[in-house]
Amino acid sequence: MWYNERHMSKNVKLEDIVSLSKRRGFIFPGSDVYGGLSGTWDYGPLGVQLKRNVMKLWWKMFVDERDDMYGVDAAILMNKKVWQASGHVDTFTDPLVECSNCHARHRADKLEDANKCPTCGQTGTFGEPKQFNMMFRTSVGPVADAESISYLRPETAQGIFTNYKGVVDTFYPDLPFGIAQQGKAFRNEISPRDFVFRSREFEQMEIEYFVHPDKWQEAFDHWVEQSKKWFEALGLPADMVHELEVPEGDRAHYSKRTIDFEFDFPIGREELMGLAYRTDFDLKNIQDHSGKNMEYQVKGTNDKFIPHVIEPSFGVERALMAVLTAAYTEDEINGEKRVFLKLPEHLAPVKYSVSPLLKNKPELVEKAREVYAALKKKYGAVMWDDNGNIGKRYRRQDEIGTPHVVVIDFRTLEDGTVTVRDRDTTEQRREIPGSI
């Protein structure tokens, strides 16, 4: 009864997420011991597990469980011609302004006040915006000259398109089919901000879905529904996800139709993922610049054409931030505030924690170690926790999202049962370890 009377809050602030992430070992500022590096983040023991769980779920849903999907893992460094042909060298830019007073640089289209520097507060100190290319330029080989120029990829999509012909020639799949990839991308953001939402190094989960030109609408609608299933699998409440039909003037030059799925982040309603109909732009562009034939021939016919493409593009960090936002919960039990992450069990970085009721009782510790070893072998994501009293352990495990805490007490020594505590309800039950 007391559970139903608790007050629960979902008014999540960004500082709540940042504080919990750093305090509990999810996410740390990059290079923090040396003063950090703006726009970079390191994932701690719990963060990397949560991140992997998100990526594993995506791969399971969109690759392993489908018979029309092929996975690739393209190189981060690619021939510079890839980025010249795609237009990134010339057009992958953001407007940059510099304050003449403090010399701080800002992205012009993201300023709250176009005439006021957010760093020093002075007005009228910005010059005309300049286009700043966001690609990280580097050199390949021992000599840094024009021929050695390469770039850290700003997106993973081109790695898929450059492998399209290899997949078709090797597997000759029937249309429609997709090529999926997860991997790092790099953008030299002028002003990275909002925790991991916009950073200089991030991971993408992208699909290029190749279809007959006459059947793009059917495929587009399919991926709208698949995207919604993905949000549900992440545990995102439906009323926090919104569809935005992007108008023609705001779409990317290659897109004939785009839907942005937005989420109510602590920083406001922002893009979570995008779904674009890229037509035959990319494959035709590759064909024109490389001289390689990108046509698809329908089996048993002379019908040849360049397929059109539907692109569902997912950002790992944004998905992670949405998951943390949706899961972050505060309630009150017996007049005491409790913070916990109400994570879906399949995403939780720790599935079970195991504790002896008292760590100074060898018989309890020995039995607890036995139970821990068995659960560790079965589930993998199991934590040993004997730090502090049992109440503190419960609070700590709640805060990192552990669904179940297993406690070995004196009754365990008598009848072999253990206490299993539920994260969300805090209710406790007795179970035989082998049944967990």
| Residue 411 CB contacts under 8 Å (≥ 6 apart), including other chains | 417, 430
**Does position 265 have pLDDT exceeding 80, yes or no?**
yes
pTM for the model stands at: 0.91
Return d(Cα 342, Cα 12) in angstroms, integer: 13
Phi, psi of 330 (to 5 degrees): -120, 135
Q: Which of 396, 322, 235 is nearest to 17 (CA)?
A: 322
99: its two tokens: 């304050």
pLDDT for 49 equals 97
Q: Which of 184, 185, 257, 270 is nearest to 223 (CA)?
A: 257
Return d(Cα 184, Cα 156) in angstroms, integer: 7
Q: Name the band, by pLDDT with cuts 50, 70 and 90, for residue 10.
A: low
**Other CB atoms within 10 Å distance of the CB of residue 194:** 15
**How close are the terminal C-alpha atoms of the chain, in Å?**
26
383: its two tokens: 């934590």
Return d(Cα 305, Cα 91) in angstroms, integer: 28
**Does position 6 have pLDDT exceeding 60, yes or no?**
no
Any idea which residue has 């849903």 for tokens? 61
Return d(Cα 43, Cα 51) in angstroms, integer: 8
Domains of the chain: 14-76+156-325 (3.30.930.10), 350-435 (3.40.50.800)
What is the arithmetic mean of pLDDT over 185-210?
A: 94
At 101-145, the pLDDT tens digits run 898 888 888 888 888 898 898 888 888 888 888 899 999 998 888
CB 128 within 8 A of CB 114: no
36: its two tokens: 């950090």
